[in-house]
Amino acid sequence: MSSRSAGRPRTSSRALIEDAAAELFLENTYGATTIDQIAQRAGVSRNTFFNYFGAKSDLLWVELDAAIDRLEVELRAVAPDAAALPALRATILAAVADIGVERVPLALTQEDVMGTREETRSSGLTRYARRADVIASFLGRQQGLPDDDLAVLAKAHAVSGAISAAWTVWARAGVRRHPLSEYVAQALDAV
Amino acid sequence: MSSRSAGRPRTSSRALIEDAAAELFLENTYGATTIDQIAQRAGVSRNTFFNYFGAKSDLLWVELDAAIDRLEVELRAVAPDAAALPALRATILAAVADIGVERVPLALTQEDVMGTREETRSSGLTRYARRADVIASFLGRQQGLPDDDLAVLAKAHAVSGAISAAWTVWARAGVRRHPLSEYVAQALDAV
C-alpha cells in the first residue's frame, strides 16, 4: 500500500501509527484526517500516539526525522580530535546510508495528493533549521568555537541546505531514484 | 523611537505603516497588535495596508525582504556570459551594501520583547526558502541547467543558508555591530 509496507512486517505501535496515517492521508487527504482517526485505525490510544509523535505533521517526515536523530547521535560519538569537516561528511552519509529507494517521506512524494503543500513547506523548513542546529553544535564542539560563531553557523546552514536539496531532488526522481546517499554526496560535493 | 526613525524623515504610506507597526509591537507585543490598529495609527486604510504588506509578519522582515527583492532584480541584470559564482557573490554583497548598523529587522532584535519567537522562526525560514529559490533561478539560468538540478539547488540552499547565518549573527551583535555586508562576506567565504 504505502512504500513503508515494503520489507519485513511492521508491528510496533510506532509502525502501526505510521502505516495508519499514510493510509488515511491518501484516502481522505492530510487536512481531513484527525489524530483520533489515526489512533483508532492503528489500534492505539491518543496518549500512545503522543508518546511517539508531537504533531500530525511529524507523520509527513518520519524518515527524515529519523535521519536527523541518527545524525545527532552519531555526531556526538565523533572523536574530539577528528577533523571536523571530513567527520561531518562521513557521519552525514552514514546517517542516510540505509535509506534506499523506497522510504521517501510522505511530505515529499504525496503533497499534491494529500493537499499538504503549505504544511509541508513550513514543517520541512523546521527540519532544515533543526539539522542546521545539530551541525552547528558539532562544528562548534570540534573546533572549540561557540555554535553561534559566524563561520560555524554559515557552514552549518550551508550543509543543512545542501542536504535539503538532496532530499528534494531524490524524492522527485520518482521510482528511478538511486539511494539517497548518492544524492547527498553529490550535494555536499557541490558546496 | 524605532531604529528605523534614524535618518531622513519617512512620510510614504509604506514608511508610516512600518513605523506604526514597530511602535505598536513594542507597546503591546506583536501578538496583541492587529492590522486595523496598525492602519489606524499610520493614518491609512486597511486596503492601503494590504497594498504594501501581505501579512502582519511581513512587518518583522522589512529590511530583509527588501534585500531579497534587490537581489532578485540585480541577478536578472547579470550578463548571461558572466561567471555564475563570482557574479552571485558580488550581487549578494551589493544587495546588502546599504544596510548599515541601524536597520535591523524587528524579527531579529525584538523577538523577546514582542513575543514573536515562533512566528519569527517560521516566517524567517520562509525568507530563507525564497532567497534559495531566487539564487537557484539565477544559477540555473547562468549555467544552462534546470533550477531543480541537484548541484544548482545544493549551491543555492547553501548560499541562502550562509546568508541567513550572517543576518542572525549581525543582528545579535547589538550596537557594536559592523555593516551587514562584512558578515555576509565572511559567511560566503566560509562555505
CATH architecture of structural domain A3-54 = Orthogonal Bundle (1.10)
> Comparing C-alpha atoms, which of A120, A134, A14, A21 is closest to residue A69?
A134
* Nearest-angstrom CA–CA distance, B87 and B152: 15
Mean pLDDT of chain A: 86
Confidence bin at B111 (pLDDT 50/70/90): low
Residue pointed to by grid coordinates 506604526: B20
Reading the block at residue A15, the C-alpha cell is 509502525
Chain B CB contacts of A158 below 8 Å: 157-159, 161-162, 190-191
- Average pLDDT score over residue span B165-174: 85
* Nearest-angstrom CA–CA distance, B148 and B154: 9
Chain A CB contacts of B132 below 8 Å: 161
Reading the block at residue B100, the C-alpha cell is 548599515
Chain B CB contacts of A153 below 8 Å: 165, 168-169, 187
Say which of B129, B149, B188 has its CB closest to residue A125.
Answer: B129
Structural Rg of chain A based on CA atoms: 17
pLDDT tens, residue by residue, A100-136: 766 777 777 766 655 656 667 777 888 999 999 999 9
**Could you tell me if B84 and B142 are in contact, meaning their C-beta atoms sit under 8 angstroms apart?**
yes
When mean pLDDT is compared over A40-44, A98-102, A122-126, B53-57, the highest value belongs to A40-44
Please indicate whether, in this complex, the C-beta atoms of B121 and A129 are within 8 angstroms of each other: yes
Cα distances (angstroms) measured from residue A121 to each of A44, A51, B42, B126, B127: 29, 25, 33, 8, 12
**Could you tell me if A95 and A70 are in contact, meaning their C-beta atoms sit under 8 angstroms apart?**
yes
Whether the predicted pLDDT of A2 surpasses 80: no
> Comparing C-alpha atoms, which of A65, A89, A95 is closest to residue A188?
A89
When mean pLDDT is compared over A123-127, B46-50, B106-110, the highest value belongs to B46-50
* Nearest-angstrom CA–CA distance, B64 and A97: 37
Please indicate whether, in this complex, the C-beta atoms of A186 and B157 are within 8 angstroms of each other: no
* CATH code, residues A58-190: 1.10.357.10
User: For testing the chain A interface, which of B120, B153, B170, B177 should be mutated: the one with the most A CBs within 10 Å?
Assistant: B153
Please indicate whether, in this complex, the C-beta atoms of B161 and A161 are within 8 angstroms of each other: yes
Give the pLDDT of residue B5: 45
CATH 1.10.10.60 applies to domain B3-56: yes
N residues, chain B: 191
Residue of A nearest to B120 (CA): A126
**Could you tell me if A62 and A151 are in contact, meaning their C-beta atoms sit under 8 angstroms apart?**
no
CATH class of B61-190: mainly alpha
pLDDT tens, residue by residue, B68-77: 999 999 999 9
pLDDT tens, residue by residue, B149-167: 999 999 999 999 999 999 8
* Nearest-angstrom CA–CA distance, B167 and B184: 7
How many interface pairs between A and B have CB atoms less than 8 angstroms apart? 112
Cα distances (angstroms) measured from residue B189 to each of A184, B89, B92, B184: 22, 10, 13, 9
Question: Can you give the residue ranges of every domain in chain B?
Answer: 3-56, 61-190
Backbone angles phi, psi at B127, to 5 degrees: -65, -45
Whether the predicted pLDDT of B21 surpasses 70: yes
ipTM, two decimals, is 0.78
Q: Do domains B3-56 and B61-190 have the same CATH topology?
A: no
